[in-house]
Amino acid sequence: MKLVIVDDEHLARERLCQMVAHFPGWEVVGQAENGRKALEVIEATEPDVVLLDIRMGEMDGLKVARALTEHDTPPAVIFTTAFAEHALTAFESQAVAYLLKPIREEKLREALQRARRPSRAQLEVATDQFTEPKRTHIVASTRTGLVRVPARDILYFLADQKYVTVFHLHGQVLIEESLRQLEVDFEPWFLRVHRKALVATRYIARLERNDSGQHELYLLHTDEPLPVSRRRLSDVRRMISEDNQHVEPPGK
């Protein structure tokens, strides 16, 4: 898998290069210190993934990401930045992940794992996976009034009796809808992994088996894993990787 690193700080680029060197199957094929140079390097090297800083001179990372959507097969974008306030705009640009500096090696590994599916772009404009669902958002009633949550910000739905909890990038809300209807309305962005859980495929990080033999699914931007039922396990494995390379062996 080919990777381009874009950051206006030389030391930041070097640190990312050192971390990527620990990941088998990944190769840094180019670097750039600003947005305009980044587009030139990306055009020349045709990477699978771009690690892209946001605040840069000449042309910022958000403008670079928007320019990449014009490509026939754009690379997946992982934003790297010290400024959390850009998160919402970054995800609107269809980034695979948004990593805050200082970047931890495990978080980078998870983001690159996510970018491997498919091997080329995961930008919405370039993949069938992100065909628009029937609904583009959910509306929840809270103590402070109605809250509108865009579908692209939702991490997963978790059912509990008559309520469903919607976990999203900025918190969580309760709604009174059936998980089955949500599955139909938000197809193909979400995958049923358990009778009580429906997850956004774009945020899937990895599948592991715990000490009890139960398979658990980890998502980007969350710490707690979700259980995967035996009935849904093959669908989850197929989504993550054809060769199940991210499934941990028993007891690990």
Q: For the segment 93-142, what is each residue's pLDDT rounded down to a tens digit?
A: 456 777 888 899 999 998 888 776 443 334 443 334 436 678 889 999 88
Strand boundaries in 126-251, DSSP class E: 137-142, 145-150, 154-160, 163-168, 171-175, 190-194, 197-200, 204-209, 215-219, 226-227
Tokens of 189: 């962005």
* End-to-end Cα distance, the chain: 26
Specify whether the CB–CB gap between 55 and 81 falls below 8 A.
Answer: yes
Whether pLDDT at 241 is above 50: yes
- What stretch of H or E contains 95? none
The structure tokens listed for 56 are: 């840069």
Residues 52 and 34: their CA atoms lie apart, in Å, by: 10
Q: Which amino acid is at 171?
A: G
Q: Are 155 and 97 in contact (CB under 8 A)?
A: no
| The token pair that represents 243 in the structure block | 């060769």
Residue 245 has what pLDDT?
Answer: 37
Domains of the chain: 2-126 (3.40.50.2300), 137-240 (2.40.50.1020)
Q: State how far the Cα of 217 lies from the Cα of 205, in Å rounded to an integer.
A: 8
Is the pLDDT at 227 greater than 70, yes or no?
A: yes
| Burial degree of 212 (CB within 10 A; 0-12, 13-18, 19+) | exposed
Contact 226, 192 (CB under 8 A): no
The pLDDT, as a whole number, for residue 125 is 38
**Burial class of residue 44, CB neighbours in 10 A (0-12, 13-18, 19+):** exposed
At which residue do the structure tokens 């790297």 appear? Answer: 80
Q: What is the pLDDT of residues 169-190, one digit of tens each?
A: 999 999 999 999 999 999 888 9
Distance CA 99, CA 114 (A): 13
pLDDT in tens, 31-75: 999 999 999 999 999 999 999 998 887 788 888 888 887 777 788
